[in-house]
Amino acid sequence: MSQTDIPGYTYGTDAVPRSPLSLDELELLKATLLMGDDDLAALRRSGQVLAGRVEEILDVWYGFVGANPHLLAAFTGPDGQPDQAYLAAVRRRFDRWILDTARAEYDQAWLDYQQEIGLRHHRSGKNRTDGARAADHIPLRYVLALLVPITTTLKPFLAEGGAAPDEVEAMHQAWVKAVLLQVILWSQPYVRDGDF
């Protein structure tokens, strides 16, 4: 992590709770996902390709959410309208999330921040960071399902960096693993005690 001026971006700070998962358990989870050093290297190379394209990528993702009322509901205020300030605040952290995912530094601070991100999707922490008054919860099934639109719409951006098709595929597969790893970790607050 690094110092930023992004409100609510608490990665690496004392404001983040400890993950209930240990680093050893994280390694077993990575092994289950077939995530190896080659994937971490591919993610880091992807960061160079994506760094200048973050706003365009977010335009696509926000367009998808905006076109799906059942997803836009996460940002809908008590007046039934999308909360633009909330959307904008989340977007600044989402920009940063792309770069953090590409950095692929799976240490304790990173693991802890995944727990915080999970809490911010779940009813136990939704809206808290931004003082929003939107829906108080995002259903787990949609959090998990977003793996597909996020990684599918990313692929053209990976391809436009001029890499060979095999390299684009390697970066894409690494992104699928990295996003799945994260949405799995984000699911922890949703799961019954002892079941995660």
Query: Quick count: other Cβ atoms within 10 Å of Cβ 18?
Result: 9
Rounded Cα distance between 189 and 20, Å, is: 10
Query: Is position 123 an interface residue for its own copies (rule: CB under 8 A)?
Result: yes
Residues 68-87 that bind its own copies (CB under 8 A): 68, 70-71
Q: Which residues contact 152 (CB under 8 A, 6 or more apart)?
A: none
Query: Is position 34 an interface residue for its own copies (rule: CB under 8 A)?
Result: yes
Least spacing, CB of residue 159 vs its own copies, in Å: 13
Query: Is position 164 an interface residue for its own copies (rule: CB under 8 A)?
Result: no
Of positions 8, 77, 139, 161, contacts its own copies by CB under 8 A = 139
Least spacing, CB of residue 147 vs its own copies, in Å: 6
What is the secondary structure of 76-102 as a DSSP string? Answer: B-TTSSB-HHHHHHHHHHHHHHHHHHH
Rounded Cα distance between 115 and 121, Å, is: 10
- Cβ nearer to its own copies, comparing 28 with 99: 28
Rounded Cα distance between 152 and 149, Å, is: 5
Which residues form the interface with its own copies (CB under 8 A)? Answer: 28-29, 31-35, 68, 70-71, 122-123, 137, 139-142, 144-149, 152, 173, 176-177, 180-181, 183-185, 187, 190-192, 194-196
